[in-house]
């Protein structure tokens, strides 16, 4: 296995009776990468997170963390893993320092390294000035930071974050996103979320899971290309027959809207706009509106999951 491959998942399946919550899932996570893991409710995201963190046994398949088989040698594999579940596993009655020292010992750090590890984790998570405060008295945003600090206290190769910004205000969300980007520079990070702008703001690569299967895997740059305009809407005072619009260069489909408007679908690399303007002037179509359309990540997400659901 490539030494930069921090997680290797092959043919991962989880059955609950006759129901396949996860169905033959395969993917990799590389060093220095933030992987966004998306899917609608019930798609199998949380089940997958639980399996790759060793909290749930798969029915079939394999998971390797930093080249170590999670099923055969779970303790050794988990030593390379940090995990923040959707509900941070913090003890509200402890101070931040007490809790992080406890987490360091749970991760079997030698006693002489605990203080340094706690200081480092607090610094990275913006907790330096709240070490003596009770966790229960901190804001939700700071409690999330404590949750992330416990996940990185032992400097793991892989950090798995499940919905880390749920319930936070916009300022807290921005701070957590910045922290995730920083973590991705030294670790491999899996970010499970249903907040689509979060993926665009923090991730290098995106995967969409639906009905337990991987239906999309692409880089953020690749998604940006998918989001490029591949249709235009036009408004014509004297519209021609659909066949004439369909005959324009690079047009692959024409949809009639209302009030003399049409949607022209075309190849991404070739817009028909220039030819449309020239033809409209020559034929007197009375073009008075031309709007390129651009897909959002939400459009892609809905299109893929709806398409898969109806397939």
User: What is the set of domains in the chain, with CATH numbers?
Assistant: 5-225 (3.40.50.300), 229-293 (3.30.70.100)
CB 7 within 8 A of CB 81: no
CA quadruple 143, 145, 146, 150: dihedral sign: positive
What is the C-alpha R_g of the chain?
25
Per-residue tens of pLDDT for the chain, all 311 residues: 455 899 999 999 999 999 999 999 999 999 999 999 988 888 888 899 999 999 999 999 999 999 999 999 999 999 999 999 888 889 999 999 999 999 999 999 999 999 999 999 999 898 999 999 999 999 988 999 999 999 999 999 999 998 888 778 888 888 888 888 888 888 899 998 877 888 888 999 999 998 899 988 888 888 777 666 678 899 999 999 999 999 999 898 899 998 889 999 887 778 899 999 999 999 999 999 999 877 677 777 777 777 654 44
For residue 98 the two structure tokens come to 């007490």
**From CA 223, how far away is CA 205, in angstroms rounded?**
9
Which helix or strand (DSSP H or E) is residue 46 part of?
helix 45-52
What's the whole-model pTM score?
Answer: 0.77
């Amino acid at each position: 296995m490539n030494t930069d491959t921090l997680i290797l998942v092959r043919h991962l399946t989880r059955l609950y009776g006759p129901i396949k919550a996860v169905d033959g899932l395969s993917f990799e996570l590389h060093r220095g990468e933030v992987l966004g893991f998306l899917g609608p409710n019930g798609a199998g995201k949380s089940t997958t997170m639980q399996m790759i963190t060793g909290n749930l046994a798969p029915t079939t398949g394999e998971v390797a963390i930093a080249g170590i088989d999670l099923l055969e040698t779970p303790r050794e594999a988990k030593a390379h893993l940090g995990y923040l579940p959707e509900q941070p596993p913090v003890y509200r009655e402890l101070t931040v320092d007490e809790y992080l020292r406890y987490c360091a010992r749970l991760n079997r750090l030698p006693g002489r390294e605990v203080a340094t590890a706690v200081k480092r984790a607090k610094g990275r998570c913006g907790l330096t000035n709240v070490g003596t405060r009770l966790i229960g008295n901190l804001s939700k945003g700071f409690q999330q930071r404590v949750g992330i600090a416990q996940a990185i206290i032992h400097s793991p190769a892989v950090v798995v974050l499940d919905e880390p910004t749920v319930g936070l205000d916009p300022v807290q969300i921005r701070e957590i996103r910045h922290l995730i980007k920083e973590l991705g520079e030294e670790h491999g990070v899996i970010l499970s979320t249903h907040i689509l702008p979060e993926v665009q703001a923090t991730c290098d690569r995106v995967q969409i899971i639906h009905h337990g299967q991987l239906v999309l895997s692409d880089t953020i740059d690749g998604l940006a290309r998918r989001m490029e305009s591949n249709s235009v809407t036009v408004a014509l005072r004297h519209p021609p027959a659909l066949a004439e619009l369909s005959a324009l260069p690079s047009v692959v489909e024409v949809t009639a809207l209302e009030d003399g408007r049409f949607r022209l679908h075309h190849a991404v690399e070739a817009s028909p706009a220039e030819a449309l303007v020239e033809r409209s002037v020559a034929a007197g179509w009375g073009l008075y509106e031309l709007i390129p359309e651009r897909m959002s990540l939400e459009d892609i997400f809905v299109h893929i999951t709806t398409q898969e659901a109806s397939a």
